[in-house]
Structure 1
């Protein structure tokens, strides 16, 4: 049976991430060497002063400012493959070094030893042996193959495994769009203002659920992390223990888990599923262990249920004689291959793990996560990126530390609207997803700050769309590269935009339904 609601448009939606370490003088100089440029030519290539390049050579441990970090990121990304290979050779630490010196890898190894009941040091030995057998090129090729599996393929495989399941899907014009999000009618179209009186997730002292570790799978994950020279950051995550969502309210409780626990257990399910689809196999031993049936998925209090918040960002623009009538500018990201969630997939932006930074109680609000992710993923606040360095500020979101765009948005009521538009559990890994909408309602924002909006390392590119372009948005929604949670947030965000300001949205009817 299908449960369905309609909404008609009228014409006039990290932690725990894996990545390379931040740039230092030494690695910047290594990039110059890999590009085979003199100091003067390298400075010209970056568009900076030769004196800055000279300082990198003189002070190899210095960390360039965030703007310079972005220039170096771009220069490396645009370098020829042979130059990138030379850079990797110049900067890659030996596997043995990371096994001994990387505190996050050491924490993961210690955790595996403890959970598996092994003598300390056993996990290190096994990871080193496994890493010696892996080919990084084969792992990279596998990552590209995984990105070609569509959300419909994933939903079909999950339905075959679990049987009839209440999954979210939507009709956009003549398109049927399918996701792997388990939800129900009272979790959708909830329009929850993300302010303290409505956004009430409460952090508790509940300890993390005892892990049911598959030691071989965990060893393989760590060996791949080392082989691909990515960085695993053991940040704390909120673990959902109860949830009660309804119209204009979010309530629930959350304990704390470590990212290592999540990365080496539930986070393994997505890769297992996609590899099984690619191979035409139905064998899913990790899923049998962690999420064997739908009741296990729904019982969030009895398992490790990590998750996050993601939002469709919509920016109001006035009518323009060249562009056309007033609209919303929509921002969509192509995710990097270095992120844990939705690697190489399309998603709304911002998107982040629900996790504390400095205040376990206040950071439990969904809105707190989204405001932090706006700063990090859209407005260039590298200092709040837990994957780059330690957080030493007592209040990284203090008004005095905010970026200029966010400070302007918060200065006057009515400039910024933030709402949760839906809730669901992603059947891929059991994660909880708060689909949300960020609306910048003041038309002065884009002329003043549009040039400052730039995605961080978690995205390979940032796309722009207009709500006055129904055909282009239809093509976008039909792209197989969407992450399931990203498509869920995108669709729910579009539905809410129609309600808020239909004159700016020229789209066909968008109706959701839940399959059973």
Structure 2
């Protein structure tokens, strides 16, 4: 199978997506430089050289039938006939059921929490794989894509009703835009202006916290089994990483406090992470959202949202980055460049949604106590998502370095930022609990005021596999930033972080910032 009219950059990117590989992994698969793949994403109309055309032909010819089907759909936009899992894919899934330690950990956890005999979950998943229709899964993905941020926020407002005692959903007025989110917060949790240094960034680890109190009834067990079967059929890979589980919060002006324990990624993806898909599927099919079995079980009311220690409360950090740029005769006056990402379809969180960047789960890397600092997660995410540090991406490989954030291992941009105090300004701008899945959210603002950084390293900033597209906006272009805020493609937590970050940046950014005033309210 080959393209009779030759390959374009867009066709090559479609093959990458069909193979479900990151840019780096796709480049390695083809035996070419990763920068070439990045160029195809930036210039989709480009035409690769003849020798690379031949490499792409060979890669497509050697791909499995499933990959070729996905590729054909991507470049033609036409669905194919119902497609069951092939024998090869089924064999691979069976092998992963037995040998993939991440899948095995999920199966063991399901058996334990559902009170089933060992091996029950494995047999249930194996049986489900044979019934998976890949085209139906893709159709479902298309339907989910039509449900936007406003739909989700309104549905959750209807489900939970209004807050009380000072708690409510975060909303804001930005120019002519009214923004409503699903982030549950209070005034004391906003505008924290909290510098992320040890004296202010003080989450504490409780090692004897025990497991999250999760028990699975038959319906929850069956839906978790279905999630694993679909992931195996689609060839989705995940790593069973440790996550910080929030136990209690003590949030105030210029201070982040509280306690965390340790949970595993597998227990999150087969429980709380299912809530968003359940809600979006109900909205996409017109099903009444008053009965959502998993939500009714795991997060039924606002009391359960606030009782973070009585459930599995995972979450993370995400930051609006603002890099100072000098005045330019073509672009205009001095400003900050603001970065926004469209999340890749391969990520577990906010897939295909707009978000600020970096964005990541709050989790330990190697030092479980020191890494409880929110700033530790964000510095790691900067290295991974902006500065190209693949060695700290624990979804790709095991972590074997004793100190992966040691100064000698830092990327050149991060080493420059860390070389002098004040070059990297990192603040927490708020805190909230996302009604979508109960996650905790720490929105941050990262500011680099030295124009030399962007002049030196702006051309080296390149998002990793978690990002499908990266955009830049000028803090001096209030009209375009207002249009950005109005985009319904945002994730709820991403919009929360953007608005809180812009609000703080307007306070401290001086003449570089020309955006409307942001006024928030709790609803």
- One fold, TM greater than 0.5? yes
Q: 1:503 to 1:26 in 2, by over 3 A?
A: closer
**Counterpart in 2 of 1:210?**
213
Q: Is the 8 A contact 1:104 1:232 kept in 2?
A: yes
Q: How far apart are 1:454 and its partner, in Å? A: 0.4
Q: How far apart are 1:109 and its partner, in Å? A: 1.0
Q: How many residues align?
A: 458
Pair 1:174 & 2:182 matched:
no
**Counterpart in 1 of 2:5?**
none
Q: 1:163 to 1:364 in 2, by over 3 A?
A: same
> Considering only aligned residues, what root-mean-square deviation do their CA atoms show, in Å?
2.7
SS in 1 for 2:198: coil
Q: Is the 8 A contact 1:170 1:178 kept in 2?
A: yes
**Counterpart in 2 of 1:249?**
255
Q: Distance in 1 between matches of 2:160 and 2:363?
A: 29
Per-residue CA deviations over 1:296-327 (Å, capped at 9, x if unaligned) read 10011111110000000111111111110111
Q: How far apart are 1:485 and its partner, in Å? A: 0.2
Structure 1-normalised TM-score? Answer: 0.84
Q: 1:133 to 1:309 in 2, by over 3 A?
A: same
Residues 174-323 of structure 1 mapped to structure 2, 5 A cutoff: 174-205=176-207, 206-213=209-216, 214-280=220-286, 281-282=288-289, 283-323=291-331
Q: Distance in 1 between matches of 2:281 and 2:132?
A: 17
Q: How far apart are 1:45 and its partner, in Å? A: 6.5
**Counterpart in 2 of 1:122?**
120
Structure 2-normalised TM-score? Answer: 0.83
**Counterpart in 1 of 2:139?**
141
**Counterpart in 2 of 1:452?**
460
Q: Distance in 2 between matches of 1:336 and 1:142?
A: 17
Pair 1:410 & 2:412 matched:
no
Q: Distance in 2 between matches of 1:148 and 1:395?
A: 43
SS in 1 for 2:431: strand
Q: Is the 8 A contact 1:317 1:326 kept in 2?
A: yes
Q: Distance in 2 between matches of 1:133 and 1:91?
A: 15
Q: Distance in 2 between matches of 1:403 and 1:25?
A: 21
Query: Which 4+ stretches in 1 moved above 6 angstroms?
Result: 43-46, 88-91
Q: How far apart are 1:383 and its partner, in Å? A: 0.4
Pair 1:421 & 2:429 matched:
yes
Q: Distance in 2 between matches of 1:29 and 1:413?
A: 41
**Counterpart in 2 of 1:150?**
148
Q: Distance in 2 between matches of 1:211 and 1:476?
A: 39
**Counterpart in 1 of 2:507?**
499
Q: Is the 8 A contact 1:149 1:480 kept in 2?
A: no
**Counterpart in 2 of 1:15?**
none
Q: 1:27 to 1:223 in 2, by over 3 A?
A: same
Q: How far apart are 1:159 and its partner, in Å? A: 1.6
Q: Structure 1: 5+ residue runs without aligned partners?
A: 1-18, 31-38, 47-52, 58-75
Q: Distance in 1 between matches of 2:148 and 2:521?
A: 19
Q: Is the 8 A contact 2:114 2:215 kept in 1?
A: no
Larger RCO: 1 or 2 (CA < 8 Å, sep 6+): 1
Q: 1:435 to 1:27 in 2, by over 3 A?
A: same
Q: Of 503, 508, 522, which aligns to 1:514? A: 522
**Counterpart in 2 of 1:3?**
none
**Counterpart in 2 of 1:162?**
160
SS in 1 for 2:105: helix
